[in-house]
């Protein structure tokens, strides 16, 4: 296979530009290099250095390359969110372009309060809200392409307005394939009740990018039974090592090979405030597993 393997900051529990519980960006880059990965994402804008000369030097020192930047700020269906979204897209786009990234990952904001699970906006979009999501996505795609030469890939995510297979297919049906690709997150797809392997086979022509994670079935069943938020489920280990979870990565690898997938796959075992040393150990174990199943 011609896929390229990298690792995402979510493996280290990076959720915010700045939070005292998160590891410093320099430590994350050191551990990425130690684990043997060449490609990374920047994580939320502001976590990695925004001084591009410093960032480039730090990457070069560790022989690491950036493949994507990420925007997850504001609800795409809300017109009032656009000024903040535009600012975030501009910042993330400029940073990505400065280090020759190829993608900008777009994620809708959560429809729940992560800390208590209570709803924020309506869980389901009506017709007009769907139209605004599509229009906003196209608008961001055009900015990403025209100003920063970055391809937009949309990332369906648990507890956002586009999480289930039917919602993703509606999104794909109404977005322009030449402007909007899909970042298929195998773990979040499973978390929302879907089958990521079958979905990839059906829609591989729209998948330009992937996040690789899987579910611990026992923890997942408990999280669902207790109506946990995705944050609480992540804290108790709903996303687990690839060789232990519910997804058949050997089968997925065979399909990737069958369709001649030529793209990037990012390891991302979502955690929340993980203990010191755990993300590095996960990164190393995952790399070894991907060698075992023939992905590397």
Q: What is the pLDDT of residues 81-112, one digit of tens each?
A: 999 999 999 999 999 999 999 999 999 999 98
Q: What is the pLDDT of residues 145-202, one digit of tens each?
A: 999 999 999 999 999 999 999 999 999 999 999 999 999 999 999 999 999 999 999 9
Q: In the predicted model, what is the mean pLDDT of residues 275-284?
A: 96
DSSP state of 112: B
Q: Three-state SS string across 192-222, please? A: CCCCHHHHHHHHCCCEEEEEECEECHHHHHH
Average pLDDT, the chain: 95
pLDDT tier, 122 (very low <50, low <70, confident <90, very high otherwise): confident
The two three-digit tokens of residue 147, written as one number: 């100003």
pLDDT tier, 121 (very low <50, low <70, confident <90, very high otherwise): confident
Whether the pLDDT of residue 1 is over 70: the answer is no
Which DSSP helix (H) or strand (E) runs through 154? strand 151-154
CA dist., res. 108 & res. 127, Å (int): 17
pLDDT of residue 120: 83
Helices within the chain (DSSP H only): 25-35, 52-62, 82-98, 127-148, 165-174, 186-191, 196-203, 217-225, 230-235, 249-258, 278-292
The two three-digit tokens of residue 266, written as one number: 């990012």
Q: Are 105 and 140 in contact (CB under 8 A)?
A: no
The two three-digit tokens of residue 52, written as one number: 């591009």
User: Which of 165, 163, 214, 209 lies closest to 184 in space, CA to CA?
Assistant: 209
At 42 the three-state DSSP class reads: strand
Q: Are strands 214-215 and 264-267 parallel, antiparallel or unpaired?
A: unpaired
User: What is the CA 97 to chain-centroid distance, rounded?
Assistant: 19
Helices within 99-229 (DSSP H only): 127-148, 165-174, 186-191, 196-203, 217-225
Q: Are 160 and 108 in contact (CB under 8 A)?
A: yes
pTM, 2 dp: 0.96
pLDDT of residue 73: 82
Torsion from C-alpha of 93, 99, 101, 106, nearest 10 degrees: -30
Q: Identify any residues that bridge with 215 across adjacent strands, giving them in sequence order.
A: 239
At 124 the three-state DSSP class reads: coil
DSSP state of 13: T
Which domains, ranges and CATH numbers included, belong to the chain? 4-292 (3.20.20.150)
CB atoms within 10 A of CB 211: 24
Q: Are 197 and 245 in contact (CB under 8 A)?
A: no
Residues in the chain: 296
């Amino acid at each position: 296979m011609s896929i390229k393997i990298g690792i995402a900051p979510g493996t280290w529990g990076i959720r915010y530009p700045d939070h005292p519980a998160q590891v410093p960006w320099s430590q994350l880059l050191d551990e990425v290099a130690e684990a043997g990965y060449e490609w990374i994402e920047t994580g939320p804008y502001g976590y990695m250095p925004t001084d591009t000369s410093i960032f480039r030097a730090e990457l070069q020192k560790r022989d690491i390359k950036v493949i994507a930047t990420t925007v997850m700020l504001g609800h795409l269906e809300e017109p009032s969110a656009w000024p903040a979204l535009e600012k975030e897209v501009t910042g993330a786009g400029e940073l990505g372009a400065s280090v020759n990234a190829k993608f900008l990952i777009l994620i809708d904001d959560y429809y729940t309060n992560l800390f208590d699970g209570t709803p924020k906006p309506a869980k389901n979009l009506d017709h007009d809200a769907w139209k605004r999501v599509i229009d906003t996505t196209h608008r961001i795609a055009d900015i990403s392409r025209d100003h920063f030469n970055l391809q937009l890939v949309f990332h369906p995510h648990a507890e956002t307005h586009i999480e289930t297979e039917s919602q993703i297919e509606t999104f794909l049906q109404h977005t322009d394939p030449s402007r909007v690709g899909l970042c298929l997150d195998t773990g979040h797809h499973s978390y929302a009740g879907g089958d990521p392997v079958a979905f990839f086979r059906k829609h591989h022509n729209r998948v330009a990018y992937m996040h690789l994670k899987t579910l611990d079935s026992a923890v997942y069943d408990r999280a669902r039974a207790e109506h946990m938020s995705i944050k609480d489920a992540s804290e108790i280990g709903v996303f687990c090592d690839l060789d232990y979870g519910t997804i058949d990565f050997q089968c997925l690898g065979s399909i990737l090979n069958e369709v001649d997938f030529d793209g990037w796959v990012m390891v991302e075992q979502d955690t929340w405030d993980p203990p010191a040393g755990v993300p590095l150990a996960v990164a190393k174990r995952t790399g070894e597993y991907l060698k075992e199943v023939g992905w590397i």
